Amino acid sequence: MNPARDMIRRLPVVLVAAGTLALPPLLSGSHLAVYILLGLAAIVTIGLSMLMGYAGQVSLGQASFYAIGGYTAGLLAVHGVPSVAGLLVAPLAAAAFALVVGVPLLRLRGHHLAFATLAMQLILLSLVSQADWAGGAIGLQGIPRLSVAGTEFADDISYAYLVWVAVAVTLLVARNVVASRPGRGLRALATSETAAAASGVPVGRYRLAVFALSAAFAGLAGGIYAFYLGYIAPGSFPVLLSIEYVVMAVVGGLGTLWGALVGATAIILLVQVLNTVGTQPGMPSYAPSVLSYAVYALLLVLVVLFLPHGIVPAVRDRLARLGSARPGRPPTPAPADAGTDGASTTTDSSTTTGTTTTGTTTTASGTATTGTTTAASGTATSGTAVTEAAATDAPAGPAGDAARSGVTRDG
């Protein structure tokens, strides 16, 4: 690969990473909190984008895995387990739960699977709200701050860096999975399960694996969320949150890792604007929720109509078209004339007695061959004249053989 071109391709990644590291010290308290929530949403959306874009499975219950990660980390920390151990167990617990429920759920397809995952979240939230050991409907309180090797994450800036390091790790894992042999199997699975199975792809195993991986990403985000807030409740993981994740994945572009980041950024910022509008004086208390549902529906309709593949694929296609239309690029050669059908077309000019006859032979490949023939007699030469030089210069292959075998002289 060209080193200069490789550097240009990596430049956006370097700029995004540099901007991510430079932003936390520049943000105020409320803006920094939004920045942290944005990173957590991006982690969940990356897994959901893999599940929907590569495995072709729709989940409306991704917030349930987010809740499992949060409750797992919070309960372990409250009962004296080191917080870093709780954070490491959180994605494992979410993945294990996904493996258990995924065996029956993934037998469903399409909207049946979507409704089943939605029902799974409703059942989970109902059970948690009735469990006294998890805080019940009041919620789990007193979750300590995250501490790693004796260093406590005491302020929002430290959590901001932790969240975006987790985003980078999630992107790296997802990228390696997509580029691997199972990733190619997932792409085939999204196109056609029947064709993938006929090609030897273990359809059921791959679907279950990506379902568990997306749950693990959500569980990791939920664990960080629990340590960041220090309090979680069933109301922290509403159904609307799962819908938000789906909208983020669709808006950014399903099956694109950068699309998850773009979609999460767009939706989180939009939610903040809607909350600001909905909490203005004179607005009813239910205004933020109503505005959120209405704008999500409108946004999905607009994306499906005008950007059916999402923002990132649309921008990528646009840049590709602009690149192919740059001045100075060699023009695409025109196809050969279909009417020749591999034969040679000969255009002759006739001369009078004792003069030179020039025959111009045009082959099917578009190459013009000029042969010079001196008439032997005193009469004009007419008809098809192909000289020995023209026959020698005929192109190789069937067209050339036809030209050489068809040498005629009329005298």
Predicted pLDDT of residue 347: 38
Predicted pLDDT of residue 16: 79
| 72/170 Cα distance (integer angstroms) | 20
CA 90 to chain centre: 26
Specify whether the CB–CB gap between 214 and 50 falls below 8 A: yes
Specify whether the CB–CB gap between 197 and 204 falls below 8 A: no
Q: What H or E segment, with its residue span, contains residue 371?
A: strand 368-374
Rg for the chain, CA atoms, rounded: 33
Predicted pLDDT of residue 382: 37
3-state secondary structure at position 347: strand
Angle of CA points 357, 354, 385, to nearest 5°: 25
119 to 125, 239, 312: CA distances (angstroms): 10, 10, 31
| 88/151 Cα distance (integer angstroms) | 16
Predicted pLDDT of residue 395: 44
In the block, tokens 């004179």 appear at: 282
Predicted pLDDT of residue 328: 55
**Tens of pLDDT, residue by residue, the chain (411 residues):** 566 666 666 777 778 788 888 888 888 888 899 999 999 999 999 999 999 988 888 899 999 999 999 999 999 999 999 999 999 999 999 999 999 999 999 988 888 999 999 999 999 999 999 999 999 999 999 999 998 888 889 889 999 999 999 999 999 999 999 888 888 888 887 777 788 888 888 888 999 999 999 999 999 999 999 999 999 999 999 998 998 899 999 999 988 888 999 999 998 988 888 888 888 888 888 887 788 778 778 888 888 888 888 888 888 888 888 877 665 555 545 444 444 344 433 334 333 334 334 444 444 334 444 443 333 333 333 333 333 433 444 444 444 444 444 443 343
DSSP notation for 170-213: HHHHHHHHHHSHHHHHHHHHHH-HHHHHHTT--HHHHHHHHHHH
Predicted pLDDT of residue 19: 83
Which two three-digit tokens encode residue 28?
Answer: 């105020």
Evaluated on CA atoms 394, 397, 403, 407, the torsion sign reads: positive
Helix axes 156-179, 3-22, angle to 10 degrees: 150
Predicted pLDDT of residue 85: 94
Specify whether the CB–CB gap between 130 and 6 falls below 8 A: no
